[in-house]
Amino acid sequence: MIYGGRRAALLLFLGDLGIFTVSLWITLLIRYRSFPTQDIFVNHLGPFSLLFVLWTFVFYVSGLYGKRVLLAASSLPDAIVKTQFFNIVFAALFFFFVPGIAIAPKTNLLIYLGVSLLLIFLWRLAFYPRLSLPRFRDKALLLAEGDEADRLVQIVNSNRRYHYLFAHIVRPSELTEGVLDDLGTHIEKKGIHLVVTDTEDARTEAFLPALYRFTCYAEKPQFLSFSDVYEDVFDRIPLSRLRPAWFVDSVSVRTPLAYMLVKRLIDLVGGLLMGLVTLIATPFIWILNGFEGPGPLFITQRRIGKDGCTIRTYKFRSMKESDAGAWSGETKNEVTKVGAVLRKTSLDEFPQFINVLKGEISLIGPRNDISALGERLAEALPNYNFRYMVTPGITGWAQINQQYEQGNISPQSIEETKTRLAYDFYYLKHRSLGLDFVIALKTMKRMFFRVSTW
């Protein structure tokens, strides 16, 4: 990873644990107005240690160890306040309801909230950025062109937290033997440590043997694929670099049987829980819908399933009329007041437990489209239907990563759909139980908070 990766996250994690521990010591100092004795500190540290584990887990679910936080801190203060508030709520529940804890933490928790907030702010916003900032950035050469290449250069060069800086850019359309000779001299004299090459570009491919002679230099540069670096920075696939062979190499491989069995078991358990929630919520939603006027409680939709098959899905009605797959602004159809709440809490999706139990939909996978909209998108976007090579899901990698226009919870244009497709292909390539677990945790966080930037 070219931004510090796991080492940066580990430093942040260890620092958080240290802050939690120091906050406890300061809390006891304030509470008892004297330096806490070893017995008092150890007596509190035992039960608080369990909370430290829970709190760092909540930090992880909230994205506080994610790439966006490691590279940019614009939304960090708000995220820390909200996360610590819920951490203190969990702590109160823990101390008040778990038997066998011989300390009375009511006052301590209030003091701890203030102390830990202050220290976490200082650590996250003042000290960590200085500790983790690279002392110097290695120079990199980019051999690629196009909008995605320009975007990569803009993001990497504008953020000092990336360990590399694109100091020289050559477009494949400019490549000649003479240009290659100049590049060799440039690499040797300017200290280029990384060469990022667009190997999918036919114009570059012809010069690859000549490019690799640079590895004979005393300061041999590291060669990386443009697509790999783009994935590392954006967590999505560069669509313009996709070739038919990519789907053979990255997607059309046999899915491990263990993964399929465990995923199906999780779907069955999750589907049953969704069914229980649906059963409990149905009478309340029916009563509330009655105040808004006539209309069915449930709707059915023809959607696209695995391998392009048509399936019939079920949802709580959230719009005044049936949703035929049009985008916002293309019709006069409006979301009802009850429907707005259902969408924000994702309760409108819960009747799909029937589809989950039948195996037509998974809890996690690329979001499927209403048939009419899916056909429209397939005509507009190359390779679009490849996203149905796996079972579609209720939530997915795109939903937890993509930020749509204000007020929208799904793509409302071709451009937004292209970005979603890039995230979907990333999921197809990297799908695993570990990635599914991350998606599940972050989906729960978004259901509770509905703040896409946190």
- Per DSSP bridges, beta strands 164-170 and 222-225 are unpaired
Helix (H, G, I), strand (E, B) or coil at 142: strand
How far, rounded to the nearest angstrom, does the alpha carbon of residue 400 sit from its chain's CA centroid? 5
Cα-flanking dihedrals φ and ψ of residue 191, to 5°? 70, 45
The hierarchical CATH code for the domain 138-234 is: 3.40.50.10700
Q: Where does the chain hold its CATH 3.40.50.10700 domain(s)? A: 138-234
Question: Using an 8 Å Cβ cutoff, are 342 and 285 in contact?
Answer: yes
Give me the count of residues in the chain. 454
DSSP readout, 396-444? -HHHHH---STT-SS--SHHHHHHHHHHHHHHHHH--HHHHHHHHHHHH
Q: What's the confidence (pLDDT) of residue 427?
A: 94
> CA-to-CA distance for 363 and 106, rounded, in angstroms?
40
* Cα angle: 170, vertex 172, 176; to 5 degrees: 85
Neighbours of 39 (CB within 10 A): 8
Maximal C-alpha separation, the chain: 78
pLDDT given at position 252: 65
Phi then psi dihedrals of residue 298, to 5 deg? -115, 155
Q: What local confidence, expressed as pLDDT, does residue 451 receive?
A: 41
In order along its 454 residues, the chain shows pLDDT tens digits of 555 556 777 888 888 889 989 998 998 898 888 888 888 888 888 778 877 888 888 888 777 777 766 665 556 777 777 777 777 777 777 767 666 555 556 677 778 878 888 898 888 888 887 777 777 788 888 888 999 999 999 998 888 878 888 988 888 887 777 777 677 666 766 777 888 888 888 787 777 776 666 666 556 778 888 999 999 889 999 998 888 778 877 776 677 888 999 999 999 999 999 999 999 999 999 998 888 778 888 989 999 999 889 999 999 988 776 666 666 656 666 778 888 888 888 889 999 999 999 999 999 999 998 888 888 899 999 889 999 989 999 999 998 888 765 555 677 788 889 999 999 999 999 999 989 998 998 888 777 665 444 4
Bridge-based pairing of strands 310-316 and 298-304 is antiparallel
pLDDT for 340 equals: 84
Residues 137/158, Cβ–Cβ less than 8 Å: no
Q: How far is CA 327 from CA 137, 194, 372, in A?
A: 44, 43, 11
pTM value is: 0.80
In a 3-state reduction of DSSP, which class is residue 195? strand
Task: Specify the pLDDT at position 454.
Answer: 40
Written as one string, the DSSP assignment of 41-62 is HHHHHHHHHHHHHHHHHHHHHT
Output the pLDDT for position 320: 74
CA-to-CA separations, 145 to 21, 49, 169, 186, 425, in angstroms, rounded: 49, 51, 9, 19, 21
Q: How far is CA 144 from CA 140, 204, 244, 278, in A?
A: 12, 8, 20, 51
pLDDT single digits (tens) 262-310: 999 999 999 999 999 999 999 999 998 888 778 888 989 999 999 889 9
Q: Concatenated DSSP letters for 8-40?
A: HHHHHHHHHHHHHHHHHHHHHHHHHTSPPPHHH
- In 3D space, the residue among 95, 70, 96, 91 whose CA is nearest the CA of residue 20 turns out to be 91
Q: Which pLDDT score is estimated for 411?
A: 73
Are 391 and 365 in contact by the 8 Å Cβ rule? The answer is yes
Contact between residue 192 and residue 221 where contact means Cβ atoms under 8 Å apart: yes
